[in-house]
Every structure is written in C-alpha cells, then in structure tokens.
C-alpha cells in the first residue's frame, strides 16, 4: 500500500523541515569527520543539563510506589499539575488563572495542534508574523487551515498595520512566538498593546474577535534586562501555550500546557474543546510521570547565563567575518543575512556552501524569510570558538565566488 499522496508531496516539498534535514546531515558528517570537526548550529536542542534539583526530583518521583500512578487520568491532566501551571501563568500574566483554565499537553507543539484542532474549520486563516517557526505551516494545514504570513518590520518587530489589514472574516487566530524563533526578537509591551487594539477593532468589524495565541517556550531565556510582556491583561481572547523544553533542557520529555485567559468570551467551551481534541488526536493525555515532576518542580531555575556568553561570542565572530545579523533579545538563535556575493543571496545555496566547511545552519526560507539563515547557539562554547576560522574562510570564499 502506498502512503497518502499529499504526505509524499509534503515530504518531498521545499517546505519539508530544513532544520531536521540539516540535523540529519550533521549526523552523517560527524561520523565521517568526527563530532569535534563538525560545527552543527542547525537545531535548537539545548546542550545544558537540567538543574540538579530537577534531576533529584525525577529520581525521587521514580522511586515512589503509588497505586494507579501509571493508569489513565483525566484527559486534561492531573488536577494538581493543572493548578501548579495556573499558578505559574498567574505570576507571569498578572491575572488570576485557575486549574480549570489549563490543559496539560504533549509539549508546546502538541499544545498548538490541540488548539488548532479545536478552533479551525477548513478554510479558516491563522495570521503569523514572518519569520516564524517552520512547523507552524504544518500545524495549521493539519486541520484544513491556511497560514497567512505577514512580514515583520526591518528590526523584526510586529507590523501591526499589516496584521490588521490581513484580518478578514476568515481569520480565526493570530499566532505569535516571543522570544521569536528564528530571530530572537521579543515583541515589547507597546507592540502587544497595539496588536490587541487592532484585533479588537477588527473583531468589531467582522463580528468575531480572533484568538491571540502566544507560543512561549523561550519566555525565560532573555537578555539585557528584557522581559516578555503579559498578554492576558490587554486582550481577552488570548491563549498561552508553552513547555519546559528550553528553560529546563528537557525537550525530549514532551511536557507542556495550554492556558486560556479567564476573560476569554468562551473560556469554558475553549478548554472543553482542547480536552476533547487531546483525546481524539490520540495524545489522550500529557506524559503522566513528568506531569507529577513538573507539578512540584516547575519553578526550579536553571542558570542560563551561558547562552548570553555564547551569544556575545558569536557577535564578535560575525563582526570579524563580515556577517550582518540581528542581536537576539531572547531564545538562542541568530538570524543572519546572507553575505553579498556575485552568487546572489539564496539562503539555501549559502547553507549548502557552508557544508563544505562542515558548518551546518538552517536556511531562512524555511522560516518564511529568504536571504537569511539561522544559527542556533545552544551548543558548546568550544564548538563556537572552533568554528571561527572555518566560518571566516567560508564567508571570504563566498564573497569572492571561489
């Protein structure tokens, strides 16, 4: 039996995950040349270990012998875990959230799929500022929706007027990711306020107020005194999805949550729909073991200062190499402009060219912005230091068309 033709088309399309392709190619190169001789900046896979207190909590939980702890639970998750997440979100948003407004999920990616399954009908539109996380396209298309990118401004801040113009009677949601992957941009309080105002106005115009979905797995990874502003106080139809993949360095454990603004006009129905779609999508519930761990250790802090140190080291390397870039305000990615050359500014060509020097990066086209490329710096400082000669040579050869 053949696989579905549309899946085959997606697998073979230019929109297939360029990040994963680079990651897999990196594995091949590491076997060929040795891991220390390959400079893999392709994927956002944190290299820091989880906090010691968190690891101790895992061990403690694993040794417990509680009857029924491996059985089914309510699809929304353990009540105590939902209440713990409600406390977390209440502190971040400055709004009182209860466990009734939280659904546990299989990571932030699972959370977004649950939400989109709950709110999208075929032909519905989701607006997203570009550049954006590459998988958003698939998450929306999974449920018959249409992802509608709106280009950000030159500093990657929100084009609120552009988003406002893009809203139609088919718009169901606006999806923002702050700090942003791939740019590291944090949308500040003024931008969020102006976006909320624009969505309120368009909601009145079309008789329905779009959801504002905030994807926040990088909320705790910020630099230079920056903060991620709260959205709940300024826009009622808002939803936060997040996970502990990045701040606690546990991306493989797939534990996240959905939190609905208590002021949302249909909050109870929204939560009920997310509980239902969690079940019918086959997730059934978020991982039981890590729900129990997170309920007790969600507020453990990891020293993330090494990401700032790596960011600052790359800034020096880029400046010496003649690469234009945006200074990340959060997350752990650089978005860099393809250097000028007679070869042109095709980001895929440039990333393929870098592979000759055993440097792996992700083309910006996969994030909805051609002519740029992404470098992930959640890798060792040694790798960053050691890539410097290769990167400088690669940029020189690219510019000289060698």
The answer, yes or no, to whether residue 15 has pLDDT greater than 70, is no
CATH of 65-297, one of 3.20.20.70, 3.60.15.10, 3.40.640.10, 3.40.50.10540: 3.40.640.10
The torsion defined by the Cα of 373, 379, 380 and 383, in degrees rounded to 10, comes to -40
CB 265 within 8 A of CB 54: no
pLDDT of residue 196: 99
Residue spans of the domains in the chain: they are 5-51+303-399, 65-297
274, HSE (Cβ side, Cα atoms, 13 Å): 30
Report the C-alpha gap between 12 and 6 in whole angstroms: 10
**Residues in the chain, total:** 402
Q: Helix 381-399 and helix 347-355: axis angle, to 10°? A: 120
At a CB cut-off of 8 Å and minimum separation 6, what does 322 contact?
339, 395, 399
Report the C-alpha gap between 19 and 261 in whole angstroms: 33
Looking up tokens 């309920």 gives 295
Task: Categorize the per-residue pLDDT at 371 as very low, low, confident or very high, splitting at 50, 70 and 90.
Answer: very high
Task: Categorize the per-residue pLDDT at 18 as very low, low, confident or very high, splitting at 50, 70 and 90.
Answer: low
Q: Give 210-261 pLDDT, tens digit per residue.
A: 999 999 999 999 999 999 999 999 999 999 999 999 999 999 999 999 999 9
Query: Residue 51 burial by CB count (10 A; 0-12/13-18/19+): exposed, middle or buried?
Result: middle
The answer, yes or no, to whether residue 324 has pLDDT greater than 70, is yes
Task: Categorize the per-residue pLDDT at 20 as very low, low, confident or very high, splitting at 50, 70 and 90.
Answer: low
- Order of all β-strands in the sheet with 102-105: 102-105, 256-260, 238-243, 211-215, 171-177, 125-130, 146-151
Fold of 5-51+303-399: 3.90.1150
pLDDT of residue 48: 96
pLDDT of residue 17: 63
Q: Give 121-169 pLDDT, tens digit per residue.
A: 999 999 999 999 999 999 999 999 999 999 999 999 999 999 999 999 9
Neighbours of 6 (CB within 10 A): 9
Q: Give 256-296 pLDDT, tens digit per residue.
A: 999 999 999 999 999 999 999 999 999 999 999 999 999 99
CB 86 within 8 A of CB 78: no
The answer, yes or no, to whether residue 16 has pLDDT greater than 70, is no
Report the C-alpha gap between 177 and 133 in whole angstroms: 8
Report the sign of the C-alpha dihedral through residues 50, 52, 57, 63, in that order: positive
Question: What does each C-alpha distance from 265 to 123, 261, 336 come to in angstroms?
Answer: 23, 9, 41
Looking up tokens 């399954």 gives 117
Q: Which residues pair with 151 in a beta bridge?
A: 130
The token duo for 80 is 């105590």
* Beta-sheet strands, E only, within 137-187: 146-151, 171-177
Report the C-alpha gap between 15 and 144 in whole angstroms: 17
The answer, yes or no, to whether residue 1 has pLDDT greater than 70, is no
pTM score, two decimals?
0.95
HEC per residue, 268-324: HHHHHHHHHHHHHCCCCCCCHHHHHHHHHHCCCCCCCHHHHHHHHHHHHHHHHHCCC
Report the sign of the C-alpha dihedral through residues 178, 80, 288, 112, in that order: negative
- Decide: helix, strand or coil at residue 238: strand
Looking up tokens 């698939």 gives 138
The answer, yes or no, to whether residue 401 has pLDDT greater than 90, is no
Q: Which residues pair with 150 in a beta bridge?
A: 129
Tell me if domain 5-51+303-399 and domain 65-297 are identical in fold: no
Residue-wise DSSP of 121-142: -TT-EEEEEES--TTHHHHHHT
Q: Helix 381-399 and helix 305-321: axis angle, to 10°? A: 20
Q: Give 55-84 pLDDT, tens digit per residue.
A: 999 999 999 888 888 999 999 999 999 999
Report the relative pairing of strands 102-105 and 256-260 from DSSP bridges.
antiparallel
The torsion defined by the Cα of 19, 20, 22 and 28, in degrees rounded to 10, comes to 160
Task: Categorize the per-residue pLDDT at 382 as very low, low, confident or very high, splitting at 50, 70 and 90.
Answer: very high
């Amino acid at each position: 039996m053949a696989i579905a033709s549309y899946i085959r088309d997606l697998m073979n399309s230019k929109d297939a995950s360029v990040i994963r392709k680079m990651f897999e190619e990196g594995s091949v190169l590491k076997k060929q040349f040795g891991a220390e001789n390959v400079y893999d900046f392709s994927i956002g896979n944190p290299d820091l270990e989880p906090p010691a207190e968190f690891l101790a909590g895992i061990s403690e939980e694993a040794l417990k012998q509680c009857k029924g702890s491996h059985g089914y639970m309510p699809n929304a998750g353990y009540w105590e875990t939902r209440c713990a997440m409600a406390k977390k979100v209440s502190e971040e948003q400055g709004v009182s959230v209860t466990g009734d407004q939280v659904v546990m999920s299989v990571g932030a990616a699972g959370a977004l799929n649950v939400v989109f399954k709950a709110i999208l009908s075929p032909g519905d539109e989701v607006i997203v500022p570009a550049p954006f996380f590459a998988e958003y396209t698939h998450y929306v298309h999974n449920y018959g929706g249409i992802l509608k990118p709106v280009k950000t401004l030159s500093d990657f801040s929100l084009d609120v007027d552009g988003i406002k113009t893009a809203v139609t009677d088919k718009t169901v949601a606006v999806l923002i990711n702050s700090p942003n992957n791939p740019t590291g941009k944090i949308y500040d309080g003024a931008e969020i306020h102006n976006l909320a105002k624009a969505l309120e106005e368009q909601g009145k115009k079309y008789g329905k107020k779009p959801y504002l979905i905030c994807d926040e797995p990088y909320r705790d990874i910020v630099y230079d005194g920056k903060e991620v502003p709260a959205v709940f106080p300024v826009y009622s139809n808002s939803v936060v999805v997040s996970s502990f993949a990045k701040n606690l360095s546990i991306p493989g454990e797939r534990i996240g949550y959905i939190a609905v603004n208590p002021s949302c006009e249909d909050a109870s129905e929204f939560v009920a729909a997310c509980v239902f779609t969690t079940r019918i999508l086959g997730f059934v519930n978020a991982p039981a073991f890590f729900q129990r761990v997170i309920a007790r250790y969600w507020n453990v802090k990891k020293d993330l200062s090494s990401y700032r140190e790596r960011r600052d080291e790359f800034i020096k390397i880029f400046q010496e190499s003649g690469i234009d870039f945006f200074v990340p305000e959060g997350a752990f990615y650089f978005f860099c402009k393809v250097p000028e050359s007679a070869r042109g500014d095709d980001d895929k060509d440039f990333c393929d060219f870098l592979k000759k020097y055993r440097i792996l990066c992700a083309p910006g086209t996969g994030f909805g912005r051609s002519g740029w490329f992404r470098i992930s710096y959640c890798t060792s400082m040694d790798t960053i230091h050691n890539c410097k000669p290769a990167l400088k040579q690669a940029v020189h050869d690219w510019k000289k068309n060698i």
